[in-house]
Amino acid sequence: MSASGEPAAAWTEVAITVRSSDLGSDQYVRGEVYFTFFEQSRLAHLRRLGIVPHFPVPDDAPNYFAIAETTARYRSAAHFGDRLLVRTRTEAVGRSSFTLAFDIVLAADDSPVAEGRSVQVWLDADRRPAPIPPQWRAELEATLTPPTP
């Protein structure tokens, strides 16, 4: 359940259109760009759950988390003008960390382009790992889901 009492949607989906600046000399999306697509979707997912505030950040915002690990696996090429859907879901929630999974598909036919994961570690005021606060843990756990959207 979300903070509003409604069931939380498991997946967050962000639409991205490939820009010319996303391409390498081979005219495909450069590998590192997929990580920025993951970031856009990660932030949208965590914003939707209320974990990441809209900017400017309020003075009373808690210390949040650091990205401890992020990975990508490329499935097929994306080209200039392609419309991509980046889907993010909560894959696991630990004591002081949580894992998000990403799927990028072509909007036209849902064919896979890339997939990835990121591990976030919750931090205390001294920037050390700390237990995820109960409110945010509940939001994350409400969106735990199996891999298929």
Query: In this predicted structure, what is the pLDDT of residue 51?
Result: 85
Distance of alpha carbon 30 from alpha carbon 80, whole angstroms = 11
**Would the pLDDT of 148 be above 60?**
no
- DSSP structure class, residue 109: T
Q: Is 58 exposed, middle or buried (0-12, 13-18, 19+ CB in 10 A)?
A: exposed
- Flag whether 5 is in a domain: no
Domain holding 49: CATH number? 3.10.129.10
Tally of structural domains, the chain: 1
Could you tell me if residue 26 is inside a domain?
yes
135 in any annotated domain: yes
**pLDDT of 63-118, one tens digit each?**
678 999 999 999 999 999 999 999 999 999 999 999 999 999 999 999 999 999 99
3-state helix, strand, coil in the chain (%, to 5): 20, 35, 45
56 has pLDDT over 90: no
The mean pLDDT value of the chain amounts to: 87
> Is 2 part of any domain?
no
Establish if 133 belongs to a structural domain: yes
Domain limits at 64? Answer: 11-142
Round to whole Å and give the CA distance between 139 and 41. Answer: 17
Residue 148 lies inside a defined structural domain of this protein? no
pTM for the model: 0.86
pLDDT category of residue 137 using cuts at 50, 70 and 90: very high
CA dist., res. 64 & res. 68, Å (int) = 13
- Structure-model confidence comparison of residues 5 and 26, the more confident one: 26
Residue 6 inside a domain? The answer is: no
* 149 within domain boundaries: no
